[in-house]
Amino acid sequence: MKLSDILSSADKPLISCEFFPPKTDKGEENLWNCLNELRSINPAYISVTYGAGGTTQDRTKGIVTRIKDETGLSPVAHLTCVGANKEELAALLADYQAAGIENILALRGDAPEGMDHFEAAAGGFSHATDLIAFLREQGDFSIACATYPEGHPESKGGMADDIRYLKIKQENGADAAVTQYFFDNDTFFRFRDDCRAAGITLPIIPGIMPVGNFDQIVRFSSMCGAKIPDWLHEQMVPIKDNLDAVKAMGIELAVKQCRELLQAGVPGLHFYTLNKSEATIAIRKKMTDLL
């Protein structure tokens, strides 16, 4: 089902889950087990990330196709501008259309390992805004995009830039935006208000990262620009070597965050699962009164 239809026909907020293509057979088996377990919380869609290199990119196509054909869940394929020209992107999109994949999360992507900044491929695109416009020409896809309530690390003009570019993503054909994860809801609420004031009407779905390993989250956050508030630091640092305690605290904090977001009218919650189902299911089950 198309993401735009999923969102417009929903009478309550939706849960969605993001996975990355595993590199090993064991990882792949774990992915299908997780997807099976997640059926119990009825996710509206499952999104699958797109890596920076050839083989991992092929895995995205294989996994979204299998999700569609075998699970009855609605897949969303991430797609980036990294390392591909327009012809290569058009060929991949034709494959997606032939396979009945209707939803794309369109991104610029990050620099591949070993490069310190993003460079457009010859004959390719420099920004998600251009990829979105291209996708609109290529077929009848429903398109999601990324946005950054705390600002993208490369944004030269700060938040105003992120809002300006999100507006262009909307004008170029995006149906929804999914945010980078954040821990401070007030920042998200301010960002959402500023987007609405700038004429951005598309659904803005907050990205949720339940903390399961604090050191890992500190590492991810330093790369993607998400801020770790002092209160999170203070709660996590004393227990960080006890992974069970971190997981339990991570779930408790995510429930609090998600409940506040739902009470403030968000259209859905997008879980960065890191290919695990346990935390997402536990959090969802503690919000049955709101979903």
Which residues 6+ apart lie within 8 Å of 170 measured at CB?
A: 177, 200, 201, 202
Measured from the CB atom, the residue of 75 and 207 that comes closer to ligand FAD is 207
Among 44, 64, 76, 146, binds ligand FAD (CB under 6 A): 146
Size of residue set near ligand FAD by CB under 6 A: 24
Beta-strand pair 75-79/176-181: unpaired
Closer by beta carbon to ligand FAD, 49 or else 142: 49
Is 18 catalytic? The answer is yes
Give the separation between CA 206 and CA 177, rounded to whole angstroms.
9
Site for ligand FAD contains 152 (CB under 6 A): yes
Which residue number, 105 or 281, has a Cβ lying nearer to ligand FAD? 105
Specify the amino acid at residue 176.
Answer: A
CB burial readout 145-182, b (16+ within 10 A) else e: bbbbbbbbeebeeebeebbebbbbbbebbbbbbbbbbb
Cβ neighbours for 176, distance < 8 A, ≥ 6 positions apart = 3, 4, 7, 144, 145, 202, 203, 204, 205, 267
Given 18, 29, 88, 119, the catalytic residue: 18
Place of tokens 């004959």: 123
From residue 159 to residue 178, the character string flagging contacts with ligand FAD as x (rule: CB under 6 A) and all else as - is --xx--x--x---------x
Rounded to 5 degrees, what angle do the CA atoms 35, 60, 216 make? Answer: 70
Is residue 151 within 8 Å of residue 112, measured between CB atoms? Answer: no
x/- track of binding to ligand FAD for residues 109-138 (CB under 6 A): xx----------------xxx---------
Nearer Cβ to ligand FAD (249/283): 283
C-alpha count within 13 angstroms, C-beta hemisphere, residue 91: 6
Q: How far is the CB of 46 from ligand FAD (least distance, A)?
A: 13
Which residues neighbour 271 within 8 Å (Cβ) at sequence distance 6 or greater? 15, 16, 17, 18, 207, 208, 210, 279, 280, 283
Task: State yes or no: residue 6 binds ligand FAD (CB under 6 A).
Answer: no
Cβ 126 to ligand FAD shortest distance, Å: 7
Name which of 162 and 175 has its Cβ closer to ligand FAD. Answer: 162
Q: Which amino acid is at 90?
A: A
Among 34, 107, 133, 228, binds ligand FAD (CB under 6 A): 107
Part of the chain binding ligand FAD (CB under 6 A), chosen from 22-30, 102-110, 244-252, 281-289: 102-110
- Rg for the chain (alpha carbons), in Å? 18
Q: Considering only the stretches 133-141, 152-160, 250-258, 273-281, report the one whose residues sit in contact with ligand FAD under the rule CB under 6 A.
A: 152-160
From start to end of the chain, where are the E strands?
14-19, 45-48, 75-79, 103-106, 142-147, 176-181, 204-208, 268-272
Applying the rule CB under 6 A, the residues between 184 and 243 that interact with ligand FAD are 207
Give the x/- contact pattern for ligand FAD in 12-51, rule: CB under 6 A.
-------------------------------------xx-
Catalytic residues: 18
Residues that bind ligand FAD (CB under 6 A): 49-50, 52, 78, 80, 105, 107-110, 127-129, 146, 152, 154-155, 161-162, 165, 168, 178, 180, 207
